[in-house]
Amino acid sequence: MSRFDRYFLMKEKDIPDFVREKVAGFFYETGEDAAFSVKEIGDGNVNYVFRIEDSGGKSLIVKQAGEQLRISPDFNISTDRNRIESEMLILQNKYAPGLVPKIYRYDTVLCACIMEDLSDYRLMRHALIEHKIFPHFAEDITTYLVNTTLPTTDVVMDHKEKKALVKTFINPDLCEITEYLVLTEPYNDVKKRNIIIEENAGFVRRELYEDKKLHLKIVELKFGFMNNAQALIHGDLHTGSIFVKEKAENGLAATRIFDPEFAFFGPIGYDLGNVIANLFFAWDNGRVWGDGAFCAWITETAASVIDLFKEKFLSAFEETAADVMAKTEAFAKAYLDSIIADTAAYTGTELIRRTVGMAPVKDLTAIDDEKVRARVSRLNIIAGKRFIFERYNDNGQGNIRNGKDFTGLFLNSVKKAGL
């Protein structure tokens, strides 16, 4: 019998015994007398994260899923998310070695995993708020996106194997959060949880709550999110789910992607669009502080992310496509074009939801002057709507096709917002 045979929410004092029992041998000393320091370091919306270090400097992270979210007792979400996150990281370490943290053990009783400590990296969102730049980011994130998604599509994976994997990654509670917070509430405030700056109340009502044409686009995107089991995606790929360093060191990548607890089989463009929108939030912040060099790096990077993704995706498609029909001439390009059109639309939904929804980003909340924040919010809403409406032209062809199209649309919206 062990006290870890039943679920309970762990505190700092429980962590040494937990790692002693689950990963005996990792630390230099694990006996009763071994001196550990433990700190709860979680600052996300959802889980509890502990860092444990022994006297010799070896360290690990223990992440546990609570039965309620940290930010709100209104959400009761399945603790199975910790298994999903762990299995996702184990799988992704095979597809994109070194770009995600290693999982040493996961425990389905405590709903906790024990993983590699990446405290020598910085959370990308925090570093971007200080206007730091990361030269490896576009290369690394596009390698991650292509190498983790394409192999899990029906283009490459055996179809029965894929269906079995879809089952493993059914994630109803976390998907429901996205279905509401991203793809419903910003357009009607149905749960009265939106956070709107007073000055923008009329603007938000007109532009988001009363725009019926927009609602039609959003419901299509919502059902696309729920029904297009295209590939195994991260599901919450914002800059708070990414660790960065300026350079790769000791053979370790400069970028590490973590926290895939929202993982499920969904549209690839959802992940890519989230990355682009979150780069634009960093641009917003840079603009308010007048940091032109930083803003230029952000737009160059956002454009490179799109262009490198396309280049790598097409070449990996040609090399690895296994489905005989997928090899039909011109299909690879059509498939990629639809991912890029989805990307534009989900760039738009992320820009809008983080601006008016209940989970705002620090890049924006750090702007103290409410009048300025109101203008930046209008920019995100204007640009967000344009990404949604303009992704196809009148003939149904993709209209926002390359990196310059993405950044051009965003920068063209700046004047309209009075910034």
Which residues of this chain interact with ligand SR1, rule CB under 6 A?
45-46, 69, 71, 75, 177, 181, 236, 359
CB 391 within 8 A of CB 347: no
Q: Which C-beta is closer to ligand SR1: that of 127 or that of 181?
A: 181
* Cβ neighbours around 57 below 10 Å, total: 7
What does the alpha-carbon distance between residue 139 and residue 101 come to, in Å, rounded to a whole number?
Answer: 18
∠ CA(56), CA(103), CA(258), 5° rounding? 105
From ligand SR1, Mg ion, none, interface partner of 170 (C-beta below 5 to 8 A by class): none
249: phi then psi, degrees, rounded to nearest 5: -135, 145
Give the burial string for 194-215 (b: 16+ CB within 10 Å, else e). Answer: bebbeebeebbeebbeebeebe
Q: Which C-beta is closer to ligand SR1: that of 237 or that of 316?
A: 237
CA atoms within 13 A on the CB side of 124: 26
What does the alpha-carbon distance between residue 297 and residue 33 come to, in Å, rounded to a whole number?
Answer: 50
Give the burial string for 27-56 (b: 16+ CB within 10 Å, else e). Answer: beebeeeeebebeeebebebbbbbbbbbee
Tell me the closest approach of the beta carbon of residue 250 to ligand SR1, in angstroms.
30
Collapsed DSSP state (helix, strand, coil) of residue 376: helix
From Mg ion, ligand SR1, none, interface partner of 69 (C-beta below 5 to 8 A by class): ligand SR1
Q: What are the tokens at 233?
A: 């995606």
From ligand SR1, Mg ion, none, interface partner of 359 (C-beta below 5 to 8 A by class): ligand SR1
From ligand SR1, Mg ion, none, interface partner of 271 (C-beta below 5 to 8 A by class): none
Q: Which C-beta is closer to ligand SR1: that of 23 or that of 69?
A: 69
From Mg ion, ligand SR1, none, interface partner of 177 (C-beta below 5 to 8 A by class): ligand SR1
Collapsed DSSP state (helix, strand, coil) of residue 76: strand
CB 208 within 8 A of CB 381: yes
From ligand SR1, Mg ion, none, interface partner of 409 (C-beta below 5 to 8 A by class): none
Tell me the closest approach of the beta carbon of residue 22 to Mg ion, in angstroms.
23
Tell me the closest approach of the beta carbon of residue 49 to ligand SR1, in angstroms.
13
* Strand positions, DSSP E, 226-302: 231-233, 242-244, 255-257, 264-266
Measure CA of the first residue to CA of the last residue in the chain; give whole Å.
63
Q: Which C-beta is closer to ligand SR1: that of 81 or that of 375?
A: 81
Tell me the closest approach of the beta carbon of residue 260 to Mg ion, in angstroms.
9
Q: Which C-beta is closer to ligand SR1: that of 261 or that of 405?
A: 261
Q: Which residue is nearest to Mg ion (CB)?
A: 259
Q: Which C-beta is closer to ligand SR1: that of 54 or that of 236?
A: 236
Q: Which C-beta is closer to Mg ion: that of 125 or that of 378?
A: 125
From ligand SR1, Mg ion, none, interface partner of 168 (C-beta below 5 to 8 A by class): none
Tell me the closest approach of the beta carbon of residue 61 to ligand SR1, in angstroms.
17
From ligand SR1, Mg ion, none, interface partner of 181 (C-beta below 5 to 8 A by class): ligand SR1
Q: Any bridge partners for residue 41, and if so which? A: none
Tell me the closest approach of the beta carbon of residue 13 to Mg ion, in angstroms.
25
Tell me the closest approach of the beta carbon of residue 145 to ligand SR1, in angstroms.
17
Residues of this chain that bind Mg ion (CB under 5 A): 44, 259
Q: Which C-beta is closer to ligand SR1: that of 43 or that of 210?
A: 43
CB 10 within 8 A of CB 79: no
Tell me the closest approach of the beta carbon of residue 358 to ligand SR1, in angstroms.
7
